[in-house]
């Protein structure tokens, strides 16, 4: 069947089987391998992408179900002015070790900050509670999200000031 999914702002079409999973569509058909694929059972959360702005586990969404929706992956985080504050936060606060859970963690963090620009530590921990870091580096992941909350990107219309990079 023919599906068209808007991924990172661009429509992508492919002829897929009904059983084709969104994570395979992103990785195999579009070559967007930033979205990782782990447990395949909707437990580990490394495959989290944003669908219509909210985190979903792409191993448990059919490509057919995502057709007509807007999907955002880690490749869509970086803007024209550089890294998303969430990405920069992971750099600043050493938010990753092996990096396997990182794309899903960052997408969840982005969705959280879009809804709640100043989350408490508990709210951050709750937001990432559907995702596993097998390096157990949760403390620095939380710090990375806190850093991003403290260094929001400048509004698009404002002049770029390279905000917070030296923090």
**Taking contact as CB under 8 A, which single stretch among the options 12-20, 78-86, 141-149, 150-158 is the one that binds another protein?**
12-20
| Whether the Cβ atoms of residue 113 and residue 145 lie closer than 8 Å to each other | yes
How many angstroms separate the first and last alpha carbons of the chain? 49
Distance of alpha carbon 65 from alpha carbon 77, whole angstroms? 23
Does residue 42 belong to the site contacting another protein (CB under 8 A)?
A: yes
Binder among 10, 19, 156, 161 for another protein (CB under 8 A)? 19
Does residue 108 belong to the site contacting another protein (CB under 8 A)?
A: yes
Distance of alpha carbon 77 from alpha carbon 67, whole angstroms? 21
Distance of alpha carbon 121 from alpha carbon 109, whole angstroms? 12
Q: Which residues, in sequence order, are CB contacts of 7 under 8 Å at separation 6+?
A: 26, 30, 32, 71, 72, 73, 76
Q: How many residues bind another protein (CB under 8 A)?
A: 27
Residues 61-90 that bind another protein (CB under 8 A): 61-62, 64-65
Does residue 127 belong to the site contacting another protein (CB under 8 A)?
A: yes
Does residue 103 belong to the site contacting another protein (CB under 8 A)?
A: no
Does residue 35 belong to the site contacting another protein (CB under 8 A)?
A: no
Does residue 56 belong to the site contacting another protein (CB under 8 A)?
A: yes
- Relative to beta strand 10-15, strand 54-57 is unpaired
Does residue 18 belong to the site contacting another protein (CB under 8 A)?
A: yes
**Residue ranges that bind another protein, judged by CB under 8 A:** 1, 17-19, 21, 24, 37, 40-42, 45, 48, 54-57, 60-62, 64-65, 108, 126-127, 129-131
């Amino acid at each position: 069947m023919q599906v068209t999914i808007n991924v990172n702002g661009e429509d992508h079409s492919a002829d897929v089987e009904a059983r084709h999973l969104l994570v395979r569509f992103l990785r195999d058909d579009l070559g967007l391998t930033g979205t990782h694929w782990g447990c395949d059972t909707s437990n580990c959360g490394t495959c989290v992408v944003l669908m219509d702005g909210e985190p979903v586990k792409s191993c448990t969404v059919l490509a057919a179900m995502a057709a007509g929706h807007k999907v955002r992956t880690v490749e869509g985080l970086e803007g024209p002015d550089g890294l998303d504050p969430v990405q920069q936060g992971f750099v600043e606060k050493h938010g990753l070790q092996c990096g396997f859970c990182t794309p899903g963690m960052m997408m969840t963090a982005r969705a959280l900050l879009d809804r709640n620009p100043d989350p408490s530590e508990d709210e951050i921990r709750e937001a990432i509670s559907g995702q596993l870091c097998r390096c157990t580096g949760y403390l620095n992941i939380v710090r990375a999200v806190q850093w991003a909350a403290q260094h929001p990107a400048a509004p698009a219309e404002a002049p770029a000031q390279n905000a917070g990079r030296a923090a």
